[in-house]
Structure 1
Amino acid sequence: MSEELLLTFRSPPLPFFIESNRRTYQAGEEHPNRTNIGVFDMLFVHEGALHLAEGEHKWMLGPGDVLILRPDSYHYSYQPCQEATVFDWVHFQTVGAWEETEGSQSGSLRGDYYTYAIRLPKKIHLSYPDEAKLIFGQLHDAAQSSSHGAFWERQQRFLHLLQMLDEGWRSDAARAGVSVAERAAAYLKMNYRSPISNGMLSEVLQLHTNYITRCMTEVFGCTPQQYLLYYRLDQAKLLLIKTDWTIARIAEETGFRQTPHFSRLFASHTGMPPLKFRKRFTTN
């Protein structure tokens, strides 16, 4: 089957590295069949080709290709290597929420103002394989090291690798909707203290308002104005806890022009007025 598959991890917590190495198969050898191994298995081919399947999906991996196999499924080799094949493998896991979807599905996991949805393609051909080879090599070196700082180095190298895969997927024009939603969210968070209309957002992004709204609804589950309101209210919660500012000042600092309007929205959102919310965190 040829559907494009996407793995989404909501973070934090971040996926974490377990182990890695480089392997060579000679002609006639093949990747072992495994089921429910309990870790994600990432494969990156340097030379030759791997022929792997997971459930009904089959892939032929050539030089520069990356494939991520699930921890809870049966994967197997449907054909031995036809030539010497060199590849890197990385095992990783997450204790957070994750899901696999087809490219046409939006999925249920989304980021918000505090969390991030890491989206990794099930299979991707890297545009810059030399950079990937360097990162994998550094990752293997850190994995073999027993020095005091090796743990931090291998986790950092691994996260760099995930970032490269995430950004590589997002650079594809076919996934522009995710990029649009995140650009809109970034602008709203940077400018939430000021009035922002849909027209202003459209002008900044140079895109139609309806398209921006559709993208944000698909990715974040809310419209741009809803996202802006939620973000402002969350910033107001932080100021109520961390400062002794008046309600009027907090309203102004978080983009609300009228204090009564802010108080009504805050009470509707949290179930209590701002002063009562503050008293919950005030010690006598």
Structure 2
Amino acid sequence: MSDPFIVTFRSPPLPYFIDSNRVTYASGEEHPSRVNMGVFGLLVVQEGALHIGEEEQAWTVKPGQALILRPDKRHYSIRPCRERTTFDWVHFQAAGAWEESGGSREATLRGDHYTYAIRLPKMMALSSFERIGEALAKLHEAAQSSTHAAFWGRQQRFLDLLRLLEEDWRSDAAKAAVSVAERAAAYLKAHYRFQVTNTDLSGELGLHANYIARCMTEVYGCTPQQYLLYYRIDQAKLLLLTTDWPISRVAEETGFRQTPHFSRLFAAHTGVPPHRFRKRFTE
């Protein structure tokens, strides 16, 4: 089952683990109602079915499905379980920016060159159910440990789980826009020192240039050529700060053919020409 609502966490900082366990309800039992818990709740059903509501939304979560509940809304049971129901729950929190998009709410959080947008459907069917179940079991085991090093184990197991959940969702061809945008960004970053045209990018991805541009605009808020320019400027900043190379070599190393053209673009995007940028941070 697909769900139009997407929960996005911008990292760093990464979401962090609070607690987890596996619970079994007998027929007739139901999930407790809670209000503004302050933590996210991830529910993964192993057998039976959970009937959960969040404000005006409602779901029946079946085996092999997962649901993310928000920290700032009311959660409640729609009805008791009609059969033995076993599920894993994970509480976690996000110190950084996060949002839920879908319906009338548009997505605003995006990754850039140095940050990452972790995107997970609010409700998802797990194609890698066995692997995710194993990750949950390891997380529960780590959660019970009281050793000095337990913190590191819990957080690592939780990040492994997040990675598996996101990989599971990204394997769905229906999420092509994100996949196309990230493939294009990876190619541009790997070839920023060279002249990369939209035709080159189209040939590499095997997709029409206009479609790639739409995907990148949707995910990153800019076209491929704009993305390439921003990345080159960022790389130029690093070289100005970490080398004594002349401006002409910095321009060449970051894919600009002519030094005056590089200097004009750099000044337009940073507010100062390259030599003043370097001087500001080296004196």
Q: TM-score, normalised by structure 1?
A: 0.97
Task: Give yes or no for contact 1:50–1:85 (8 Å, CA) kept in 2.
Answer: yes
Whole-angstrom CA distance in 2 between matches of 1:205 and 1:4: 26
1:186-197 equivalences in 2 (<5 Å): 186-197=186-197
User: Structure 1 regions of 5+ residues with no counterpart?
Assistant: none
In the alignment, which residue of structure 1 is the partner of 2:22? 22
Deviations 1:199-244 (A, max 9, x none): 0000000000000000000100000000000000000000100111
Whole-angstrom CA distance in 2 between matches of 1:45 and 1:111: 30
Whole-angstrom CA distance in 1 between matches of 2:65 and 2:175: 19
Task: Give yes or no for contact 2:202–2:208 (8 Å, CA) kept in 1.
Answer: yes
In the alignment, which residue of structure 1 is the partner of 2:225? 225
Deviations 1:87-116 (A, max 9, x none): 111000011111111178650001111111
Task: Give yes or no for contact 2:3–2:123 (8 Å, CA) kept in 1.
Answer: no
Runs of 4+ in 1 over 6 A off after TM superposition: none
1:243-282 equivalences in 2 (<5 Å): 243-282=243-282
Whole-angstrom CA distance in 1 between matches of 2:120 and 2:129: 16
**Amino acid aligned to 2:37:** I
In the alignment, which residue of structure 1 is the partner of 2:152? 152
Task: Give yes or no for contact 2:39–2:70 (8 Å, CA) kept in 1.
Answer: yes
Whole-angstrom CA distance in 2 between matches of 1:60 and 1:141: 27
Whole-angstrom CA distance in 2 between matches of 1:278 and 1:19: 47
Whole-angstrom CA distance in 1 between matches of 2:131 and 2:3: 27
**Amino acid aligned to 1:66:** A
Whole-angstrom CA distance in 1 between matches of 2:104 and 2:218: 12
Aligned length: 282
**Mean Cα deviation higher: 198-207 or 146-155:** 146-155
Whole-angstrom CA distance in 1 between matches of 2:190 and 2:156: 27
User: Structure 2 regions of 5+ residues with no counterpart?
Assistant: none
**Amino acid aligned to 2:189:** K
SS in 1 for 2:78: strand
How far apart are residue 169 of structure 1 and its match? 1.6
Note the aligned Cα RMSD (angstroms). 1.3
Whole-angstrom CA distance in 1 between matches of 2:166 and 2:134: 17
Q: 1:104 to 1:228 in 2, by over 3 A?
A: farther
SS in 1 for 2:17: strand
Whole-angstrom CA distance in 1 between matches of 2:81 and 2:183: 43
State, as a whole percentage, how many aligned pairs show the same letter.
67
Whole-angstrom CA distance in 1 between matches of 2:262 and 2:67: 49
In the alignment, which residue of structure 1 is the partner of 2:137? 137
How far apart are residue 168 of structure 1 and its match? 1.6
1:1-284 equivalences in 2 (<5 Å): 4-102=4-102, 106-283=106-283
Whole-angstrom CA distance in 2 between matches of 1:228 and 1:116: 17
SS in 2 for 1:67: strand
Task: Give yes or no for contact 2:128–2:168 (8 Å, CA) kept in 1.
Answer: no
Task: Give yes or no for contact 2:8–2:117 (8 Å, CA) kept in 1.
Answer: yes
Deviations 1:224-280 (A, max 9, x none): 000000000000000100111110111011001111110111011111111100011
Deviations 1:90-148 (A, max 9, x none): 00001111111117865000111111110011011111211111111100111111123
**Mean Cα deviation higher: 180-189 or 148-157:** 148-157
**Amino acid aligned to 1:94:** A
